[in-house]
Amino acid sequence: MSDSAHPESGSAAPNPDPSVDSPVDSRGETAATLSVAVPLALTNLGNIAMNTTDVVMVGWLGAEALAAGMLGFTMTALVLLMGFGVAAAVAPLAAQAYGAGDITGVRRTVRQGFWAVAIYSVPSIALLMFGEPLLLLLGQDPAASAKAGTYLSIAAWSLPFVLGVMVLRGLLSTIDRAAIVFVITAGGIVMNAVLNYLLIFGNWGFPRLEIAGAAIALVVTSATGFVILAIYVAVHPATRGYRIFDRMWRSDFERLKAITIVAWPIALTMLLEEGLFVTATLMVGWLGPITLAGHTIALQCAAVAFMVPLGIAQAGTVRVGIAAGRRDRAGIGRAGWTAFAMGIVFMCLPALIFWLFPDQLARLFITAEDPDAATVLGIAASLLAVAAVFQLFDGAQVVGLGVLRGLNDTRVPLAFAAIGYWVCGAPLAYVFGFTLGYGAPGIWSGFIVGLGVVGILTAYRFSARERLGIADLPAT
């Protein structure tokens, strides 16, 4: 039965005045967006730092362990990516309810967000339990597949906790309390590193579990982070009135359906984007391991820079959603264009750094003693020069997708992603890289076109939101 059909007793629910979150000018909107975006961007950077820690520490076991670890990390990341799409639907729906002053709607959305990620987690865990045979089916090395299978059978249990944090982050970003998520993420980086040190290598009397130790560290860190965040939400004065965890068993299929409708295009869009980068990496791999090493350095630099516009996009989703919940047409435009501007302006900074200091950045990833260092550095530097342009388009497209999600507009942007990434981006990457003979820089140029198409299409759709009828949300 619907949550709204059964009023609940207990502590008084919050009674926000949506007008408080309604800046009247661009300066106020910029401040409001930054307040949400900064902790989200820092959290994104923290997550990539934790992943990097895992790669580095498993790499200390040797090349064979690192190969197995990368297989395990990649499969886990792909499954999580789809789950992130499911959890990401919580933020716009919660923000819209909050903007409308509908506290029951916020509660219903977050609760059913937990239902959605639980439903997603069951088959996903089962899939990862068969990681070894799946990797063998994909033609991977038997020894590496066996070790990766061990990692996956344990790491699978981190899924509901990681996605549960994403659900709560949707609530906390809506009410401008996302800083706590970053604090917990920062603590998680330290906790994960310490557990890796103890369990991977058997230090301080702990058993030496190698790659299985990394998986245990992931599960323990994820579970601890979720529990701490859940306690915060349950007891903090700013959140306890929402009574998120009361009667979690109560079904609300109407809200679960609304989450699903918004979520599945987001999940597929994320998968299409990730698939573009995986395909590009495979293409670069055809050019040889030295070129692939240079590509890896440049892509890692771009991935770190991307975490900030991703945070801005997530903030844009929330800010547009709040304005949409208020039925504030001017506020929708102000929130969306502020996020666009912030995303593009920020990406000018890493673009400038990539353009001016490519050699210095590349040297962070490879030692001068390596016999191939000079060649790898040259390739990485040339790709970072291309990445300087790439950053601007990447920032525009991720923010464009984010602000449209604030209006529950996810299906048409999914089509934009399919066109931009796969009709334009991937084929042109091949043409520029191989048919025209520009190699890795040509492949990256295909990136630019694909991402640029998505950025332009999403910006146009947001500008035409009134004419297209996507600025008016149905009653909830």
So what's the pLDDT on residue 141? 81
In DSSP notation, 204-229 reads GG----THHHHHHHHHHHHHHHHHHH
Determine how many CB atoms are found less than 10 A away from the CB of residue 367. 7
User: Please, what is the angle between helix 289-325 and helix 373-405, to 10°?
Assistant: 20
So what's the pLDDT on residue 449? 94
So what's the pLDDT on residue 16? 55
Could you read off the pLDDT of 111-154 as tens digits, one per residue? Answer: 999 999 999 999 999 999 998 998 888 787 888 889 989 999 99
Domain layout of the chain by residue ranges: 32-251, 262-476
Task: Fill in the DSSP letter of residue 350.
Answer: H
The yes-or-no verdict on residue 5 having pLDDT over 60 is no
Could you read off the pLDDT of 16-55 as tens digits, one per residue? Answer: 555 445 666 778 899 999 999 999 999 999 998 898 888 7
So what's the pLDDT on residue 15? 53
So what's the pLDDT on residue 361? 82
So what's the pLDDT on residue 198? 96
Task: Return the structure tokens found at 233.
Answer: 């939400």
Residue 35 CB burial class (10 angstroms; 0-12, 13-18, ≥19):
middle
H helices of 236-252, in order, are: none
Residue type (1 letter), 419: I
Could you read off the pLDDT of 280-290 as tens digits, one per residue? Answer: 888 888 888 78
User: Which of 270, 343, 279, 344 has the alpha carbon at shortest distance from 86?
Assistant: 270
Residue type (1 letter), 406: G
Q: Do 367 and 373 meet the contact criterion of CB atoms below 8 Å apart?
A: yes
* Dihedral, CA of residue 91, residue 92, residue 95 and residue 97, to nearest 10: -120
Mean pLDDT, rounded, for 449-458 = 95
User: Which of 348, 306, 326, 333 has the alpha carbon at shortest distance from 403?
Assistant: 333
* DSSP three-state, residue 441: helix
Could you read off the pLDDT of 162-212 as tens digits, one per residue? Answer: 999 999 999 999 999 999 999 999 999 999 999 999 999 999 999 999 999
Q: How far is it, in rounded angstroms, from Cα 207 to Cα 190? A: 20
Q: Do 400 and 388 meet the contact criterion of CB atoms below 8 Å apart?
A: no
Cβ neighbours of residue 121 closer than 8 Å, sequence gap 6 or more: 83, 159, 160, 163
So what's the pLDDT on residue 370? 63
User: Which of 165, 152, 308 has the alpha carbon at shortest distance from 228?
Assistant: 165
3-class secondary structure per residue, 251-310 = CCHHHHHHHHHHHHHHHHHHHHHHHHHHHHHHHHHCCCHHHHHHHHHHHHHHHHHHHHHH
Alpha carbon distances (Å) from 14 to 113, 122, 167, 236, 250: 20, 33, 19, 12, 21
Q: Do 186 and 45 meet the contact criterion of CB atoms below 8 Å apart?
A: no
| Sign of the CA dihedral running 279, 284, 285, 290 | negative
Q: How far is it, in rounded angstroms, from Cα 287 to Cα 406? A: 41
Q: How confident is the model at residue 9 (pLDDT cuts 50, 70, 90)?
A: very low
| Max CA separation in the chain (angstroms) | 70
Task: Return the structure tokens found at 63.
Answer: 């090349």
Alpha carbon distances (Å) from 146 to 51, 113, 210: 21, 34, 13
So what's the pLDDT on residue 22? 64
Q: How far is it, in rounded angstroms, from Cα 384 to Cα 353? A: 9
Task: Return the structure tokens found at 245.
Answer: 């965890």
Q: How far from chain centre, in Å, is Cα 152?
A: 20
User: Which of 311, 331, 259 has the alpha carbon at shortest distance from 108?
Assistant: 259
Mean pLDDT, rounded, for 283-309 = 85
The yes-or-no verdict on residue 301 having pLDDT over 90 is no
Q: How confident is the model at residue 474 (pLDDT cuts 50, 70, 90)?
A: low
Phi then psi dihedrals of residue 118, to 5 deg: -65, -45
